[in-house]
Structure formats: structure tokens, C-alpha cells
């Protein structure tokens, strides 16, 4: 028998009607009871917490990260499934992937419809996640949803309410689940994992600021003044803003703030094409381009870099390593 541990964190898959709307309510055993188990798989449940995922904090996510590492310390565990709310699933999954150094698979799943819904998607998603965790290796952290398997890196929620809710808009599908089998279509490229971070008493503040027509540096400067140690600038197009924002980025970097540059466009990489406030100037001012990673995951990469070291130059190096698909050097190696 293959032993899979399910870590329950709440979300729609564990939600019931609360009188005015749905909220996470069921424990992990109740969630597991809704789904058939793949043949030859036994399940153990860890009830970590039960919240709607927009309420997750960095402390929640770091607790989840440490719990996964503790579970994998048992060599008899075949894999892990994390049941999670869909709103911030992409962030938690990517955080775990950045620090995942074990060949065994960790699979995130959830649902768009709450427990007990007619034709609900939770049981099928959970079955697929259990099968994927039990039968795949060397793929890092994955997301199983609507019969599809995605790499954590780059995968975002692309549909607010539709059942096929996740995709990587910039890459091909990683795999599919059907007829009791997981078919892997490609192998994700992953950098060398970062070391497991300490649990800080007060996690570093990392803010996101989006550019738009008439956008100025007010919000970016306000983040710096509020004590942000990291900022994700969400540019237009291939990662563009204005000369005023370039100046604000340069000033923030000079104060030791780690700035990452992404784009509000759904697919394609941040690219240094334009000047006059474009990505050419923003990168020259010290912003680190995030490739095809979008805002939520770019923020997680910044957070991980800040947790890895207190030295600003080293933080930028760790961030670039986390964003790469090559072989960065481990902190402390």
C-alpha cells in the first residue's frame, strides 16, 4: 500500500453554508470521506488549519512549509496532498516548490464548489491529487485540478468560478489524469531548492503596486515608508512604467528594499524593450525582472529571498536564483 499524507488547510473544498455565504468548516477527515481513494493508496490526515485562503498569512504559509518537511522526514510516506483554498493556492504552492528538495511529490488541490454540492468538483480533484502524489516522482510541487496536472511554478488561477480554474498561461500543460493513470507530458525546469527558512517573529512586509494610466509613485513610496522590505511592481506590457516610477524604484533600492518587476499582462515574459520609464530603465534602477512569474508568485519569490539573508545584495542574488531555471547556489553552500 502507498501511504499518502493529506494536509488540510481549509478552502472551498472544506466549506459549508454559513447563513450568508460559504466558509471553511470541515476537517480533513470529512473532506477525505467525500472522495474515492485510488487503488492501493492509504491516507493519513493532518489538520493544520481551516481558513478561507484569502485570510492566509505568511505565518500560515511558513507553518505549512515546515509541516511538509516534517512529514517527509518519514521515509515510509509516499507523497503529500495539500487541500487548499483556490484564491491563494498558487502562492503557497510556489513557496513550497522553492524550498522542495525531496523527489517525492507534493500536490495541491481544492475545489470551486463547496462540500455537498451536486456534481461538486472536490472529490474528483482529491482523487486525482492522491493518485498523482502516489505515482509520480521528481516533479517538485504540483497542482492537480479538473483532470489536469500543473507545475507549481507559473501556475495561477485563471478562472474566478469555472471548474477548470488553473493554468500556466506561458507554458504547456504538465500532465493529465484519466482512467486511473497520470500521464506526464513534460518535466518542469526547477532551480536548486532554497534552504528551509527560519520562522521569523515578524515576517518581512512585501507589497505589490500596479502601474496604470495616470499611475504615479505615490503607492510605491507609501509602501517604502510603511516599512516594506520588498515590493513587486506590476508594470504594463512587457514590464513598463514611467520615469517617475523609475526614480522611486532607484530610491527604494538605495534604501535596501528588494524590488521585483512583473507585468499585469496574462502571458509572456518581462522583457527589456522600452526606455522612458520602461523595463530597460526599471532594471537599470535595480528592479529584478521576474520572467513569466506573475504578481502573487513574484511576491513569494521576494519573500523567500528576504527570509534567506539580511544582506541586500545577497537578497537580490537569491531572488534571481529563485527566478531562474538553471542551477543557483544554495544560500550558505
Positive or negative, the CA dihedral 152, 153, 157, 163 is negative
Kindly report, residue by residue over 50-77, the tens digit of the pLDDT. 999 999 999 999 999 999 999 999 999 9
Rounded CA separation 301/290 (Å): 9
Distance CA 276, CA 284 (A): 12
pLDDT of residue 69: 98
d(CA 72, CA 299): 26
Cell for 185?
507530458
Helix (H, G, I), strand (E, B) or coil at 195: coil
User: How much is the pLDDT for 325?
Assistant: 63
pTM: 0.95
pLDDT of residue 324: 87
Question: To which H or E segment does residue 145 belong?
Answer: strand 141-145
Residue-level pLDDT at 327: 36
Question: For the chain, which residues score pLDDT lower than 70?
Answer: 325-333
pLDDT at 332: 34
Cβ-contact 333, 321 below 8 angstroms: no
> 16: which 3 cell numbers?
459549508
Q: Which residues contact 311 (CB under 8 A, 6 or more apart)?
A: none
In whole angstroms, give the CA distance from residue 252 to residue 231: 9
Active-site positions? Answer: 12
Amino acid at each position: 500500500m502507498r501511504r499518502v499524507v493529506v494536509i488540510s488547510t481549509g478552502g472551498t473544498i472544506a466549506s459549508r453554508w454559513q447563513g450568508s455565504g460559504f466558509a471553511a468548516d470541515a476537517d480533513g477527515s470529512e473532506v477525505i470521506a467525500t472522495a474515492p481513494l485510488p487503488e492501493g493508496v492509504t491516507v493519513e490526515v493532518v489538520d493544520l488549519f481551516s481558513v478561507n485562503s484569502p485570510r492566509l498569512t505568511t505565518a500560515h504559509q511558513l507553518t505549512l512549509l515546515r509541516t511538509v518537511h516534517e512529514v517527509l522526514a518519514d521515509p515510509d510516506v509516499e507523497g503529500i496532498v495539500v487541500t487548499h483554498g483556490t484564491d491563494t493556492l498558487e502562492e503557497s504552492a510556489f513557496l513550497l516548490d522553492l524550498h522542495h528538495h525531496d523527489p517525492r511529490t507534493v500536490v495541491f488541490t481544492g475545489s470551486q464548489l463547496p462540500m455537498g454540492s451536486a456534481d461538486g468538483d472536490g472529490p474528483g480533484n482529491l482523487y486525482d491529487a492522491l493518485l498523482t502524489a502516489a505515482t509520480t516522482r521528481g516533479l517538485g510541487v504540483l497542482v492537480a485540478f479538473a483532470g489536469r496536472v500543473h507545475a507549481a511554478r507559473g501556475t495561477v488561477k485563471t478562472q474566478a468560478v469555472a471548474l477548470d480554474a488553473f493554468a500556466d498561461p506561458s507554458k504547456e500543460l504538465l500532465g493529465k489524469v484519466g482512467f486511473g493513470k497520470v500521464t506526464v507530458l513534460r518535466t518542469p525546469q526547477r532551480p536548486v531548492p532554497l534552504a528551509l527558512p527560519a520562522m521569523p517573529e515578524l515576517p518581512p512586509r512585501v507589497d505589490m503596486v500596479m502601474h496604470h494610466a495616470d499611475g504615479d509613485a505615490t503607492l510605491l513610496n507609501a509602501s517604502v515608508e510603511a516599512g516594506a522590505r520588498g515590493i513587486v511592481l506590476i508594470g504594463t506590457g512587457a514590464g513598463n512604467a514611467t520615469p517617475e516610477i523609475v526614480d522611486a524604484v532607484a530610491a527604494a533600492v538605495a534604501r535596501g528594499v528588494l524590488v521585483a518587476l512583473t507585468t499585469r499582462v496574462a502571458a509572456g515574459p518581462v522583457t527589456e524593450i522600452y526606455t522612458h520609464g520602461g523595463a530597460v530603465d526599471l532594471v537599470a534602477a535595480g528592479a529584478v525582472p521576474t520572467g513569466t512569474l506573475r504578481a502573487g508568485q513574484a511576491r513569494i519569490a521576494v519573500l523567500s529571498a528576504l527570509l534567506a539573508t539580511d544582506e541586500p545584495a545577497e537578497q537580490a542574488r537569491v531572488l534571481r536564483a529563485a527566478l531562474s531555471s538553471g542551477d543557483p547556489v544554495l544560500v550558505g553552500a
